Amino acid sequence: ALAKLRADMLVIDLGTGTGAIALSLACEKPKAKVLAMDFSLAALNVAKQNAYHHNLNNVIFWQGSWLSAIADNTLDMVVSNPPYIKVDDPHLSQGDVRFEPKSALVSGTDGLEDIRMIIEQAQRCLKLSGWLLVEHGYHQAQQVQQLFLDAGFTKISSHQDFGGNDRVVIGQLTV
């Protein structure tokens, strides 16, 4: 995201949680305007505290559901680490994820329900040439790339995590 983010951009982090992505972007690009959105007020309160501790004043916190309340053609970039696990995934009962809210992890029968919604809404909210970056499961890159392509995004690419797994798809809206 940092490679594409310019100082004058308006970027939104959907499902910000504790604010890790939004606050990192705000810290690295202090002249950018960053919106941190989450439907959980408790998560937003944690994110606000984290911003306060890092003296960040270029972040606006907003309670909402994905991009439903965002005006058309207003955003330069949308970033999100949305839920992407299938509802019947056996990993949900193992390890640390057992203690996470299911709403932060599970996204329908194929794990892509929220990603589909974000892509659809991003088409409306992004300015022409705006960027969409979405984290996904280690085995979902090809499916997510196809969703981006079907929605009219170009310059689509995948980026790997430190384990060498495709983990983020990025694309530019040019339609």
pLDDT tens by residue, 103-113 = 777 567 788 98
pLDDT at 95: 72
List of domains in the chain:
10-173 (3.40.50.150)
Quick check: pTM over 0.85? Answer: yes
Helices then strands, each counted (H, E), the chain? 4, 7
pLDDT at 45: 98
Residue 164, classified by CB atoms within 10 Å of its CB into exposed (0-12), middle (13-18) or buried (19+), is: exposed
> Which own/partner pairs from 144-152 qualify as long-range (CB within 8 Å, at least 24 positions apart)?
144/112, 144/115, 144/169, 145/169, 147/112, 147/115, 147/116, 147/119, 148/119, 151/119, 151/120, 151/122, 151/123, 152/123
User: Looking at the DSSP assignment, which residues form a beta bridge with residue 56?
Assistant: none
Using CA atoms, how far apart are residues 80 and 15, in angstroms rounded to an integer? 6
pLDDT at 7: 74
Residue 125: Cβ within 10 Å count: 22
For residues 14-41, average pLDDT: 95
Q: Which of 61-65, 86-90, 94-98, 102-106 has the highest mean pLDDT?
A: 61-65
Which H or E run contains 88?
none
Collect all residues with Cβ–Cβ distance below 8 Å to 166 and sequence separation of at least 6: 136, 138, 141, 158, 159, 160
Helix (H, G, I), strand (E, B) or coil at 161: coil
Whole-number percent of the chain with pLDDT over 90 = 71
pLDDT at 11: 96
Q: 137: pLDDT confidence band, cut at 50, 70 and 90?
A: confident
Of 75, 169, 168, 59, nearest in space to 122 by CA: 75
Using CA atoms, how far apart are residues 46 and 51, in angstroms rounded to an integer? 9
More confident residue, 35 or 89: 35
pLDDT at 100: 74
φ, ψ at 72 (rounded to 5°): -65, 145
pLDDT at 105: 73
